[in-house]
Amino acid sequence: MDVQTSDAPQDRGELELVARLRAGDDEAFAQLVRSCGCSLLATARRFLRNEEDARDAVQEAFLKAHRSIESFQGNARVSTWVHRILVTTCLMRLRSRHRAAEEPLDELLPRFLEDGHSVVPSWEWDEGPVRDLERRELCATVRALIARLPESFRTVILLRDIEELDTAETARLLEITENAVKIRLHRARQALRGLLDPHMIGGRA
């Protein structure tokens, strides 16, 4: 599947790599695997949360890229193109496997007292929690807490806040409406905020 995305212009080395890939150069393909294999595996782990499934998805993404390199349009770096193929591959695997009943998200949402105040004191932060917390060197904590979200909400927040896809593209990949994306994202961010507040408050103390 050819997934194109806007990205930095290709340099001469990148253009040469693509040409070698199109020529069937095995060493060029090995170079591509070495250069982005680790980052792809990290992404697959976030979506699939199972080591074997994640590794299989990465392998499948590389195979898809190898088979469709002729359709690569060059309007993105080849590593970005393969990354998008991987994301699509992970989502297809999530849809195809038997999905157990999800745990309710309500258990993770912030709770409020009758006067409207939060049961747990809340840290004031903006609508971009992931980027803000990464700047505070809490990236590992953020990703671990995202992994606790039910699958349908986790995938939305991964696509919107980690992969930085827009609402329309997220809806297309998940095969849901844009309004459903907005609702799930809002609730996922609420739940994530509730999970993060103790860490934020603790870091402030």
Q: For the domain bounded by 105-204, which CATH number is listed? A: 1.10.10.10
Residue ranges, comma separated, of all CATH 1.10.1740.10 domains in the chain are 12-96
Q: Are 39 and 81 in contact (CB under 8 A)?
A: no
* Beta bridge partner(s), residue 118: 112
How much is the pTM? 0.74
Q: What is the CATH T-level fold of the domain 12-96, as seen in this structure?
A: Rna Polymerase Sigma Factor; Chain: A (1.10.1740)
- How far is Cα 177 from Cα 185, in angstroms, rounded to an integer? 12
Range(s) within the chain of domains with CATH label 1.10.10.10: 105-204
Amino acid present at 10: Q
Q: In the structure encoding, which two tokens stand for residue 201, read together?
A: 């408050």
Residue by residue, what is the 3-state secondary structure of 101-167?
CCCCHHHHCCCECCCCCECCCCCCCCCCHHHHHHHCCCHHHHHHHHCCCCHHHHHHHHHHHHCCCCH
d(CA 88, CA 79): 14
Residue 104 region, left (φ>0) first, then alpha (ψ -120 to 50), else beta? beta
H or E segment and range at residue 90 = helix 78-96
Residue type, 42: A
pLDDT in tens, 140-164: 788 888 999 999 999 999 999 999 9
What is the C-alpha to C-alpha distance for residues 205 and 194, in angstroms, rounded to an integer?
18
Q: What angle do CA 19, 24, 30 make, to 5 degrees?
A: 90
**Tens-binned pLDDT, residue by residue, of the chain (205 aa):** 444 444 554 678 888 999 999 999 999 999 999 999 999 999 999 999 899 999 999 999 999 999 999 999 888 899 999 999 999 999 999 988 755 556 666 666 656 555 554 555 555 545 455 555 555 556 778 888 899 999 999 999 999 999 999 999 999 999 999 999 999 999 999 998 888 877 766 554 4
User: Are 54 and 41 contacting, i.e. CB atoms less than 8 angstroms apart?
Assistant: yes
